[in-house]
Structure 1
Amino acid sequence: MTTMAQETGAPATRGSEIRRHELAAFLRSRRERITPEQVGLPRGVRRRTPGLRREEVAQLSAVGVTWYTWLEQARNIQVSVQVLDALARTLMLDASERAHLFRLAGAADPTPAASCPSVTPALREMLRGLEPIPACIQNSRYDILAYNRTYARLLGDLESVPPEDRNCMLLVHTNSEWRAAIVHLEDSMRLMAARLRASMAGHLGEPAWKMLLRRLEAESPEFRENWERHEVVGNRTKIKEFLNPYVGHLTLEHTDLWLGPEAGARMVTYTPKNEETRRRLEMLQELAQGSQVP
C-alpha cells in the first residue's frame, strides 16, 4: 500500500532524477567541445575521445576522477558551489551556460555574475550621474556589482573581463592591465589583503568567501605572502595614483560611501586631486562614451 508521504515525494524525486540526467548530459556536451590545446594539454597520438577526457576535467577542476565520473553518470551525489565554480571555469562556460549549470545542480551561484537585488535602478542612475568621476558599487568581498563608464576604463577595459571575474582582489593580483595601471602595486596588494582579512571575520565558512580565498592563494604568490602576515586594516579615505593606459597619470581620492548601516555594500568613488587629473578624467569619459580606445 502506497503511503501519502510516498505519493507526495515521488514527483520531487522524479524531478531531481531528471535534473541529474540533464546535468550529466550538459557536462558531457561541454567537455566534448573543448580541445586539449585550449586548456594547455598535449593532444597525444592515441586520443579517441572528442574533446577532453573525464580524468582531464577532474584534474583541471581539482576533484576526484571517480566523483566526476559519477556526476556524468547522473548518480545521486552532492555538489558544492566550489566544485560547480571550478567545473564552470574548466569547461569555459559563458554566463548563460554557467547559470544553467547552477540551476541544474539546484545551487545558487555566489559570484558577482549572479544578479544582485541590492543594486537598484536608482543606484545605477547615481553612478551615471557622477560621470566623469569613476564610481562603482562593491561588496565587502571586493566584487564589482555595478559601475559607470569612466570606472570601466579606469584601469583598463573592465568590459572585457568575464562577469564572474570582476573582483578587485582578483584583478589586482592576476590581471596584467590592472597591475600595470596601479602606481604603488605592492602597497596596494598588502593593504587590500589586510582589508579582506578584516572583512572576512564576519563571513567565515561562507562558500563565496572560501572560493575567493582559495583562488587567490592558488593564483598569486604575492597574495599568499601578504595573507600570511595576518594584518588587518579598517576602511579609510586614501589617495591613489593610476597610470591609465588611455589618458596617462591620474591622482585620485578614494572614498567609500556605505549603502547600509553595516560595512557591506558600498559606493566607491575616485575624485580628482588636481586640475590635470580632472581634465584627463573628462577625456576618459569621452573615450568611454564613444567606446573608443586610442
Structure 2
Amino acid sequence: MDRRELAGFLRGRRERIAPADVGLPAGPRRRTPGLRREEVAQLAYISTEYYTRLEQARGPRPSREVLSGLARALRLSDAERDHLHHLAGAPPGPPVGPSREVRQSILDLLGRLPQAAAIVLSATYEVIAWNDLAAALLGDFSALPRHERNLVRHAFLAPRSDTRLHDPAEAEAFARAAAGHLRAAAARYPDDPEVAALVGDLLSGSAEFARLWADHDVRTGPGLRKTLRHPLLGALTLNCDVLDIADRDQRVVIYTADPGSPAEEALRLLSVVGTQRMDVPG
C-alpha cells in the first residue's frame, strides 16, 4: 500500500468533482474546489474520520468494499478505479456496481445523430449520457440531480400526471420490462449499495413495482415504437432502437421519426430550439 500516493490521488479526485455532479447543493461557504471530505465519506458509506486519515496518508489499508465505495463516490473511471486498487495494495476484481463511464466513441456517436434523440442508460436505467435533441425531447437531464435521471425511478415514483416519457397506454409494458431489467441487474451486482437502495425505494414507494418484482420475471421484450408526450408539441410516435454495449453493461436508446411524418417535423423543430421554452417570449 502506497499511503502517500493514495492520499494524493484521493485528494485530487475529490477536488475535481462539483457538488452538483453528485446531486449536492453548492452552498455559500465552500472555500476549496470540489467536495468536502465529509461529503465523500457519506457517499462512500464510511466515517469522515476514516476518510480524513486516508487523505492524510495515515489510514489503514482499505477493504475492497471501502475501495468500491470510494470509486463510486469519486466517480472514478474504470482505469482510475483499477489505479485506486493498486495504490491500496488490493488488485482490482470485477466491478461491484454498474459502470457509469461512457466510452468516448459512444459520446461521439451521440453527437453525430442530429436528427435522432439518443441517450445512454446504465444497467439500472440511469441516464448517463445524452445528446442535445434528447434533452429537448425528454427534458434537460443536466438540470436534474443524479438520482432523478433514473428512468425506472421516474416510471414508478413520479406523479401519474407526468407522462412525458411514456404514453399511459404503453406504461404497463415499459414497467414490466424495466422491472425485469432491474431484477437482472440486481443479480449481477448483489453487493452494490446503490442498486439495493434503488430497489428498496421502488418496493416501498410503488405497489405496482412490488407486484412486478414478486413475479421474478427477467424476460424483457424490445419496444420498437414509443409514444412520447412533449409538453408543447404533444404526442410524438417514434421508432425506438436499443443498442447494447455489452462490455460496459450499458444501452444506447435512439429515438427516430418516420420520414415525412409529423413527428419528423417536430424533431426538426426541437433540434433548432433545443431546451429553451417556446411558450415564453424571448
**Coarse TM-score class (shorter-chain normalised):** 0.5 to 0.7
Whole-Å separation in 2 of the counterparts to 1:177 and 1:112: 30
Indicate the residue corresponding to 1:219 in structure 2.
Answer: 201
CA distance in 1, matches of 2:44, 2:110: 38
Q: 1:154 aligned to 129, 133, 137, which one?
A: 137
- Tell me whether 1:248 sits opposite 2:234 in the alignment: yes
Which position in structure 2 is the counterpart of 1:72? 52
Deviation at 1:192, TM superposition (A): 0.9
Provide the C-alpha distance between the structure 2 equivalents of 1:211 and 1:160, rounded to a whole number of angstroms: 25
- Taking the TM superposition and a 5 Å limit, the aligned residue runs for 1:127-146 are 127-128=113-114, 131=115, 133-138=116-121, 140-144=123-127, 146=129
Q: Computing the radius of gyration over CA atoms, which structure comes out larger, 1 or 2?
A: 1
Tell me the equivalent position of 1:272.
257
RMSD: 4.7
**2-side partners of 1:177 and 1:22: how far apart?**
47
Q: Residues 78 and 164 from structure 1, CA distance in 2 versus in 1: closer, same or farther, beyond 3 angstroms?
A: farther
- Name the count of aligned residue pairs: 238
* SS, match of residue 106 in structure 2: coil
Contact 1:136 1:146 in 2 (8 A): yes
Conserved 8 A contact 1:243-1:249: yes
1:237 is displaced (CA, Å) by 3.2
- Aligned AA for 1:280? A
Structure 1 segment 223-242 matched on structure 2, within 5 A: 223-242=209-228
In the alignment, is the contact (CA less than 8 A) between 1:194 and 1:233 conserved in 2?
Answer: yes
Counterpart of 2:101 (choices 103, 114, 119) is 114
Q: Distance in 1 between matches of 2:14 and 2:240?
A: 46
Name 1:3's counterpart in structure 2: none
Tell me: CA distance 1:239–1:20, structure 2 relative to 1, closer, same or farther (3 Å).
Answer: same
Cα distance in 1 for partners of 2:129, 2:138 equals 15
Contact 2:99 2:249 in 1 (8 A): no
SS of alignment partner, residue 138 of structure 2: coil
| 1:92 match | none
For residues 120 and 252 of structure 1, the distance between their equivalents in structure 2, rounded to whole angstroms, comes to 22
Task: Decide whether the 8 Å contact of 2:99 with 2:122 is kept in 1.
Answer: no
Residues in 2 aligned to 1:212 and 1:281: alpha-carbon distance in whole angstroms = 34
Aligned: 1:204 with 2:188: yes
- 1:8-47 equivalences under 5 Å are 13=1, 16-22=2-8
SS state at 1:119 partner: helix
> TM-score, length-normalised on structure 2?
0.60
Determine if contact 1:156/1:177 at 8 Å carries over to the other structure.
no
Residues 163, 190 of structure 1: CA spacing in aligned structure 2 closer, same or farther, 3 A cutoff?
same
- Give the 3 Å change call, closer, same or farther, for CA 61–162 of structure 1 in structure 2: closer
Higher relative contact order (CA 8 A, sep 6+): 2
Q: Secondary structure at the match of 1:106?
A: helix
- 1:194 aligned partner: 180
Equivalent residue number for residue 31 of structure 2: none
Quote how far apart the aligned CAs of 1:27 are. Answer: 11
Distance 1:98 1:224 in 2: 30
Shift, 1:19, TM fit: 4.2
Preserved CA contact (<8 Å) 1:246 1:284: no
Relative to the length of structure 1, the TM-score reads 0.58
- Could you tell me which runs of 5 or more consecutive residues in structure 2 were left unpaired when the two chains were aligned: 26-35, 86-91
SS at match of 1:136: strand
Match of 1:284 in 2: 270
Distance in 1 separating the partners of 2:14 and 2:267: 48
Task: Give ranges in structure 1 of 5+ residues lacking alignment.
Answer: 1-12, 40-51, 89-96
